[in-house]
Structure 1
C-alpha cells in the first residue's frame, strides 16, 4: 500500500470517528448505524470493517474524541480568561444556553453520551476518564464532580423539556446556582 493510501485511510478513519461522535450525540448510539456514519463521510459500510473492529470500538473512539474536543475548548476558555473564575463563568454562559441545549451533536460529551453509556457499559471507562478530566478542570475533587454533575444534569433536563417554558427556566436556574468553583 502506498504512503498516500495509508494517509487516506487515516484521514477516512478520523472523519468517521468525528462524524460518529456528532451523530451519536445527536441521535443516540442505538439510532445510528454503521452505514449512517460511513454515508455521512462519503464512504461505504464495507470500508468500516477495514478501519474498526466493531461498532462498539467506534463508539469508544467517538466518546474519547468528544472529550478531547471538550477539554480543548476548556483549555481555550482558560487561556482567554483573566482567571479560572472568569473561565468558569464563560463556560456557564455557553454551556447553559439555548444554543447548546439545541445542538447536542456539537455539545458536551458528558451530556451527549450519558444515556447511551448508562445502557451499554463498553465505553464506560473512556467516558469516566473524560468526566474526571472535565471535573478536574472545574475544581479539584468532589467540588468539580458536583459542579459538573449540576450543569450536565441541568442541560439534560433542559433538553428533555425543550419547547416548554420550564426548559429555559432550568437553564437560568442552574446558571444562577452554579457559583464559580473555589481555586
Structure 2
C-alpha cells in the first residue's frame, strides 16, 4: 500500500521525536536505529527513506530536542507575573527533581553536551545554534523583553545562569543513584543562589519602653540624639 505524503511526513516526525527522546535518555552511543524505529512503530528500513544516514538523523533529532526544551521559556502562562517571579519559576522548573529524573523530556545540553563535544564539527554546530538560542531567550526573560535583543549585561547573566544550571543538573543526575540526598541538595542549593528575591524583607520592629513599636533605624537615630 502506497504511503501518502501526509503519512510520510507523520512517520518522519515520529522518528525524530523518538530519536530526540531516546538520545537524551541513553546518549548518542546507547541508541541504535532499531530502537528508534521500534519506538516510532516503523520498520528498520523505513528510517533510511527519510534520512540519508544515522549522522543526519542525530543532527536533526538534536535540533528537535533544542526546540522542545526552549518552548517552556516562551510558552509558560506567566504574563501577569513580575520579571523576578518569571525567572524564579523557570530556574525552579529546570533545577527540579522532575527534570533530573526525566532526561528524555528535558534539556539536550545537560543530556548530550559531552557526546556532542566528541562527535565532530557538524553536531557541534547544531549545539552551538541551540545553546545560542537558549541564551538569547533566557536573557530576554531576565530583561523582561518579549522580542528584540537583550543587553550585553543580560546576555552575560543568562550565560552564567544557564551554564550553572546545566552543570548542576549534570551533577545531580550523576549522584542521584548512589546519594539521593546529595543530588537533592545540589538542586536546592543552586535554586536558592540563582533565584532572585521577589520582594525586600520587611524591616524589623522593636517595642520602645512606652510600648510603641519602632523601626530599628529610627531607634538608632533616637540614640544618636
- Corresponding position of 2:96: 97
Structure 2 CA distance for aligned equivalents of residues 85 and 53 of structure 1: 46
Residue 76 of structure 2 aligns to a residue whose secondary structure is: helix
Cα distance, 1:24 vs structure 2: 0.1
Structure 2 CA distance for aligned equivalents of residues 78 and 149 of structure 1: 25
- Corresponding position of 1:53: 52
Cα distance, 1:138 vs structure 2: 1.9
- Corresponding position of 1:114: 113
State whether residues 23 and 104 of structure 2, in contact with CA within 8 Å, keep that contact through their aligned partners in structure 1. Answer: yes
Structure 1 residues not aligned, in runs of 5+:
none
Q: TM-score, normalised by structure 1?
A: 0.91
Number of aligned residue pairs: give it: 180
Task: Select the structure of larger CA radius of gyration.
Answer: 2
Verify: 1:134 aligned to 2:148, yes or no.
no
TM-superposition CA deviations, 1:38-81 (whole Å, max 9, x none): 01111111111110011111111111111111222110126545
Structure 2 residues not aligned, in runs of 5+:
140-153, 197-225
Residue 88 of structure 2 aligns to a residue whose secondary structure is: helix
Residue 117 of structure 1 aligns to a residue whose secondary structure is: helix
**Distance change (3 Å), C-alpha of 1:162 and 1:57:** same
After the TM superposition, which parts of structure 1 deviate over 3 Å for at least 4 consecutive aligned residues?
Answer: 78-81
1:170 counterpart (186, 191, 199): 186
TM-superposition CA deviations, 1:126-152 (whole Å, max 9, x none): 111111111112223222111100000
Q: CA RMSD in A?
A: 1.9
TM-superposition CA deviations, 1:153-178 (whole Å, max 9, x none): 00000000013121111001111111
Greater shift in the superposed pair: 75-84 or 98-107: 75-84
State whether residues 135 and 147 of structure 1, in contact with CA within 8 Å, keep that contact through their aligned partners in structure 2. Answer: no
Structure 1 CA distance for aligned equivalents of residues 123 and 77 of structure 2: 28
Cα distance, 1:85 vs structure 2: 2.4
- Corresponding position of 1:156: 170
- Corresponding position of 1:144: 158
State whether residues 91 and 195 of structure 2, in contact with CA within 8 Å, keep that contact through their aligned partners in structure 1. Answer: no
Q: Which has the higher contact order (CA 8 A, sep 6+)?
A: 1
**Distance change (3 Å), C-alpha of 1:23 and 1:96:** same
